[in-house]
Amino acid sequence: MERKELLKNSKRLVIKVGTSSLVLPNSEINLRAIDQLAFTLSSLRQAGYEVILVSSGAIGVGMKLLGLDKRPETIAKQQAIAAIGQAELIKIYTQRFASYHQQSAQVLLTRDVTDFPTSRQNVINTFEELLTMGVIPIVNENDSVSVDELDHLTKFGDNDQLSAIVSNLAQADLLLMLSDIDGFYNDNPHTNPEATLYSHITEITTTMEKAAGDKGSVFGTGGMMSKLKAAKRVLDSQSQMILASGKDPAILFDILEGKEIGTLFSNEC
């Protein structure tokens, strides 16, 4: 089946952007990318799509505000930095979305909230209400309070997993994962120039898992393996995901028109 055909009923979208798309290599906030993202998502909303944004960047933006060039070791410091960065990140998003006449909202989640049935249902209800109101929810992990303890695990792991969980909660038709790379290759293209791009994957195989290497930037936590894990969640819930470059967010217009961009993960073939 053609890409266009596979995507034709995709109305409810979750878009995930990683830190590498939001923070420049020199640690400055990538205001151009945030503005273009706000423009693109506002346009899609106005064209009738329902849009949820899962945005990383709290720690990256917090580091920039404090003038740090590497992540502090202690959890307490990382959580404090996330609190600083998240507030600034949302301030920038709110301003940029408002300039395109688009209302946005902040939803911060921890894993226990999405695992426990009553609070899970409340999250689902919140997404439904916001989408009905035409609002774009901006979701991140509540990094400042989430913990990774054996008897009390409230972290998602990373935002790739969070975006797949949000897609599932909101019953999204399509997860658009924007990364610093234009798709999934049979080897890391940064170390192997011969690597070739997968354009459509129906099933995650062990060969693919072996080809998925580590993350490419100092700010993020995901890496390609984490994107494959997210894709597996999406395929297991009979939904679809596209991994593509976040360099120019306007790429989303072309993707939704069905152009062969990035890697499509879909059970349908």
Ligand X SMILES: Nc1ncnc2c1ncn2[C@@H]1O[C@H](COP(=O)(O)OP(=O)(O)O)[C@@H](O)[C@H]1O
- Binding site members: 16, 56, 143, 159, 179-180, 221-227
When CB distances are held under 5 to 8 angstroms depending on the partner's kind, the choice from ligand VHF, ligand X, none that residue 57 binds is ligand VHF
Buried b (16+ CB within 10 A) or exposed e, 173-186: bbbbbbbbbbbbbe
What's the rounded Cα separation, in Å, for the pair 100 and 93?
11
Is 140 a binding residue for ligand VHF by CB under 6 A? The answer is yes
- Is residue 29 classed as helix, strand or coil in its secondary structure? strand
Please report how close the Cβ of residue 91 comes to ligand VHF at its closest, in angstroms. 14
Cβ–Cβ < 8 Å for 106, 138 = yes
- Measured N-to-C along each axis, helices 117-132 and 159-169 cross at an angle, to the nearest 10 degrees, of 80
For residue 117, count other CB atoms closer than 10 A to its CB.
7
Q: Which of residues 17-56 bind ligand X (CB under 6 A)?
A: 18-21
User: Looking at 92-100, 187-195, 219-227, 257-265, which segment touches ligand VHF (CB under 6 A)?
Assistant: 219-227
Say which DSSP state 191 is in: T
Cβ–Cβ < 8 Å for 18, 220 = yes
Binding-site residue ranges for substrate:
56, 143, 159
Nearest to 204 by CA among 184, 182, 181, 178: 184
Burial class of residue 198 (count of CB atoms within 10 Å of its CB; 0-12, 13-18, 19+): middle
What distance lies between CA 267 and its chain's CA centroid? 21
User: Looking at 35-43, 75-83, 182-190, 231-239, which segment touches ligand X (CB under 6 A)?
Assistant: 182-190
Is 140 a binding residue for ligand X by CB under 6 A? The answer is no
Based on its alpha-carbon atoms, the radius of gyration of the chain, rounded to whole angstroms, reads: 17
Please report how close the Cβ of residue 109 comes to ligand X at its closest, in angstroms. 18
When CB distances are held under 5 to 8 angstroms depending on the partner's kind, the choice from ligand X, ligand VHF, none that residue 173 binds is none
Binding-site residue ranges for ATP:
16, 179-180, 221-227
When CB distances are held under 5 to 8 angstroms depending on the partner's kind, the choice from ligand X, ligand VHF, none that residue 58 binds is ligand VHF
Q: Which of residues 66-105 bind ligand VHF (CB under 6 A)?
A: 82
Among 213, 247, 248, 254, binds ligand X (CB under 6 A): 213
Which secondary structure element, helix H or strand E, spans residue 4, and what is its range? Answer: helix 3-7
What's the rounded Cα separation, in Å, for the pair 251 and 247?
9
What's the rounded Cα separation, in Å, for the pair 181 and 244?
7
When CB distances are held under 5 to 8 angstroms depending on the partner's kind, the choice from ligand VHF, ligand X, none that residue 230 binds is none
> In the stretch 166-205, what mask flags binding to ligand VHF with x, by CB under 6 A?
----------------------------------------
Nearer to ligand VHF, 7 or 110 (CB): 110
Is 143 a binding residue for ligand VHF by CB under 6 A? The answer is yes
Q: Which residues bind ligand VHF (CB under 6 A)?
A: 18-19, 56-60, 82, 140-141, 143, 158-159, 220-222
Q: Which residues bind ligand X (CB under 6 A)?
A: 18-21, 179-181, 184-185, 187-190, 211-213, 215-217, 220, 222-224
